[in-house]
Chains A and B, each alone.
Chain A
Amino acid sequence: MKKSDILWVQGITCNGNTQSFLNYPNMKAFLKKYNFLYHPYLDSDLNVQEALEYDKKFDFLIIEGAISKDFMRVGFNFFNQVQKLCKNAKYIIAVGTCAVYGGIFKEKDPENITGAIYDKDKENGFLKKFKDKIFNIPGCPAHPEWLVFTIDTLNKYEKIITDELNRPKEIYGYLTHHGCTRNEYFEWKVDSKDFGTKEGCLFYLQGCRAPTTHGSCNRILWNEVNSKTRSGSPCFGCTESSFPRNKMFETKTFMSIPADLPVGVSKRAYLTVTGIAKTFHIKRLKDKLI
C-alpha cells in the first residue's frame, strides 16, 4: 500500500509538539503507513528549504506554531510559503494551541500573531480561508495519540466528526476533568488544602481548569502513565483559546464561588449541589488515603 505523505512545518513554536509526537509509543507502526516529506526531528525526504518550497500535491500538512505575516523561516516568509502548502495539501492539521489559537507566542505581539483559523476565540486567523480542510488539535503541547488518531481517521475514512471549532469530537467532546482520580473529591466538594497531596480536588483553590477545559488528558493518559491533575498539578486549560490565562495557580472566585463553572452547569445547579454536598462530612474523604 502506498504510504500517505506528511509534511510538518513550524511557525512560531517551542517544538513542544514535535517532541510530544516523539513520545508516540508505536512509531514503527506509524512509519509503515506514513512517509515524512519533512519532519523537524525525524529523518525525512526533504530539507527544510525544500519542504517550504514543495509544490506538488500531498496528503497531510501539519502546522505547529503560531503564524505572523512577517515571521521568517530560513530566509523564507513563512506565511507566504505555508499558504502555498495549504493549497496543495489534502488535509491540514493545526497541532498545538499556538497553531490553533495563537497560544503563548501570540502574547508577544497580539495584533500580528494568530492561529490558523482562529485568533484566540475569534475566527480571524491568517489561514482561515482554508478552514474547510483544517483540523484543530489544541494542547500545549497536543498529546501524540490525539494527533495520530486524527491522521489515521482522515487517512482511512477521509472524514472525522468535529465540533464547531474544527476539533475532533472524540477527543474534545470530553473535558480534562473526565477520568481524573480526584473526581470523588470534586463531587463531594472536598478541596485540596494545598499542593503536594494525593487527596482533594484542585478546582476550588489551586486554579484547576479541568472542568472547564476540553480535552482527553485523563482519558488518554500522558506518556501512557499520568496527567497533570492526577499528579497534583492544576490543569491550566492549555487546550483552550484563553491559554495562557493570568494567575494560573489560583482559582478566581466571585463571592466565594468559582468565577468559571464546569461547562454547561448553571450557577444555580452548582450552588445547590455544592451546598448539599458540603453539609455532609465524609470522614473517608477527609482522611489521608494512606
Chain B
Amino acid sequence: MKITKEIMQKIEGEAELELSWEKGKVVSSKVKFFSYRGMEEIIAGRCPMDALVLTPRVCGICGHAQLMATVHALENIYENCDIKLEISEKAKILRDITLDAEIIQNHIKWLYFIIIPILYKMESKSFDNKRTFKALKVATSATKLIATFAGQWPHNSYMIPGGVVCDPTYVEIFQAKSLIDEIISFFEEEIVQADIEAIVSIKTFKDLNSYNGLAKEMIDIMQKHNITDVGKSHDRFITFGENSIFKSSKSIRTVTRSINAKYIEEESLDFTYAKNVLYNGKFYEVGPLARAMVAKNPLAKNIHRVYKDSLLNRIIMKTMEIAYLANHIKDSLNKIDISEPSFIKPSKKLENLEGVGDGFAEAARGSLYHSTEIKNGKIKKYDIITPTQWNLGNSKDKDELSTIQQALLGLDNEDVISLVFRSFDECSVCTTH
C-alpha cells in the first residue's frame, strides 16, 4: 500500500491530505489541520457582549456568519431565562440580507479562484483572467452591500441581541438594490445566460444545460472527463440554520426529517487539531447541496436522480445558490419598512442573566453552531462547531467513514481528488478556531 501526503493550499490556511492507495486507487484518507488558535478560550471569562466582537475574528471570510451564530446564541440565553425578546421584522430582514451577501461573495471567490482553475487545468487551458477580475469585482459588490448596513466587511459587530445597530434610510436601501442588481446581472451574463426569474425556476438538469455560460462550461468539462459521477458520499445531508431562505432539517437520500441539536456529538482525535462532528453517531454533509436537498430544491433533486450527491451536484448547487440568494436579497430589500425600530432594547442586560444558549447560522460552507454559558456576569464557556468539521472528519470507525473520506474513496487522479476535496470549500482557519 502506497501512502502520499499533500498540503492542500489556499483553503483559508492549509491542511494535509494523507491518502492510502491500492492498485492506483484511493482506499483511505486522513485530513490533518496544523494549528489551533484557541478562540473559545479567548472568549471565556469575558463580558458576554464582547463575544460579538471576538467571534467574527474566527474567520476572515465567514465572520459575519460567526456573528449571526453568536447573536442567536446570546438571544437564546434570554429565551432560556424566559425573557421574551422582540426583534423587529426590519432587523431580521437586514440580518438575513447581509448574511446572504457574505455567502455570495464566498461562492464567487470559490468558483473563480478554486474550482475553475482546476477544471481548466484538466483541459490544459488557461482561464481568461479578465473574467476572474470581473468576478472579484462583483464579489466586492457583495461585501459593499454588507458594509452598507453593517459598517464594514470583514469584521463588523452590527447584530446585537435585540436587533441591529444600523438605522438605514432609503438611500442605503437603494444603494443596496443597485449592488444586488449588479450581482444578478453578472450571474445572468456570465454564469447562466438567462433572466434571473428563469434561472431560479430551473427545475431540471436538462433545462440548466440548455443555457450557455460558466455553469454549462463546467458541466461540459466534467462530462468530457467523465467525472460527473465521482465524489459521492453518504447521501446524508443536514442543515441547522433557519431563516427566511434556509430550512433546518436533515435528509437521507431524499427523505427529510426534523432534527434536534442534542444529537450533535464532537469527537477529539490525537493527530489533528480538528474535532469530528457527528449527528446521532453518523457523519453528514453540510453546505449548499445539503441546504438544497433538505429544502427539496427541484433542481438538486432532479440532478440527484442520476448523479446523487456527486461532485457535479455539489458544484452546481453551490453555484446556483449565488442566484437563489441574490434573488432573495432583491425581494427582501423590497420588504423593509424603515419606520420599524432597528433595535428593541432587551429588558435585562446579558451579564445579569445566568444560563446557556445555542445559536445556529448557515455560513457559506454549511451549518455553524455556537453554544455558550453565562455565569456571574461572564462567559463561562464558549463552543464553536464549524461546517468544515462536519464535512472533513477523520472517522475512527472504518465502517462509517466521514463525508470527505467516503467522497474520496476509489479516486485515481490527482486533479479529480483536488476537485472533490475542494468541492467542500473547506476553511482551515474556521476548523482550527
Are A25 and B140 neighbours in the complex by a CB distance under 8 Å?
Answer: yes
Interface string of B149-193 (1 = CB under 8 A from A): 111111111101011111101000001000000000000000000
Docked complex Cα distance between A194 and B158 (Å): 13
Using CB atoms, name the residue of chain B closest to A235.
B151
The contact of B54 among A28, A196, A224, A244, by CB within 8 Å, is: A244
Residues on B with C-beta less than 8 A from A49 are 7
In which size bucket is the chain A interface?
Answer: 35 or more
Docked complex Cα distance between A20 and B156 (Å): 12
List CB contacts (< 8 Å) of A82-109 with chain B.
Answer: 104-105, 107-109
Using CB atoms, name the residue of chain B closest to A226.
B147
In which size bucket is the chain B interface?
Answer: 35 or more
Total CB contacts across the A-B interface at under 8 A: 185
Are A12 and B35 neighbours in the complex by a CB distance under 8 Å?
Answer: yes
The contact of A231 among B38, B133, B150, by CB within 8 Å, is: B150
Closest Cβ–Cβ distance, residue B386 to chain A (whole Å): 12
Residues on A with C-beta less than 8 A from B342 are 195-197, 232
Residues on A with C-beta less than 8 A from B50 are 244, 246-249
List CB contacts (< 8 Å) of A173-194 with chain B.
Answer: 194
Residues on A with C-beta less than 8 A from B10 are 40-41
Are B165 and A71 neighbours in the complex by a CB distance under 8 Å?
Answer: no
Are B167 and A223 neighbours in the complex by a CB distance under 8 Å?
Answer: no
Are A16 and B155 neighbours in the complex by a CB distance under 8 Å?
Answer: yes
Judge whether A140 is part of the interface by a CB distance below 8 angstroms.
yes
Interface string of B60-71 (1 = CB under 8 A from A): 110100000000
Residues on A with C-beta less than 8 A from B133 are 27-28
Judge whether B58 is part of the interface by a CB distance below 8 angstroms.
yes
Q: A42-B113, A196-B163 are in contact. Are A247 and B156 (CB under 8 A)?
A: no
Using CB atoms, name the residue of chain A closest to B139.
A22
The contact of B157 among A15, A73, A107, A233, by CB within 8 Å, is: A233
Judge whether B148 is part of the interface by a CB distance below 8 angstroms.
yes
Judge whether B136 is part of the interface by a CB distance below 8 angstroms.
yes
Are B143 and A23 neighbours in the complex by a CB distance under 8 Å?
Answer: yes
Docked complex Cα distance between A258 and B59 (Å): 32
Judge whether B89 is part of the interface by a CB distance below 8 angstroms.
no
Judge whether A225 is part of the interface by a CB distance below 8 angstroms.
yes
Docked complex Cα distance between A150 and B152 (Å): 21
Q: A16-B155, A18-B60 are in contact. Are A195 and B165 (CB under 8 A)?
A: yes
Jot down 17 A-B pairs with beta carbons below 8 A, ordered by A: A14-B429, A16-B57, A16-B63, A18-B60, A40-B13, A47-B9, A48-B14, A73-B14, A105-B37, A195-B160, A196-B342, A196-B343, A226-B151, A228-B151, A231-B158, A244-B50, A248-B47
Additional pairs, 6, CB under 8 Å, beyond known A22-B140, A141-B60: A12-B37, A14-B37, A28-B133, A42-B113, A73-B14, A141-B154
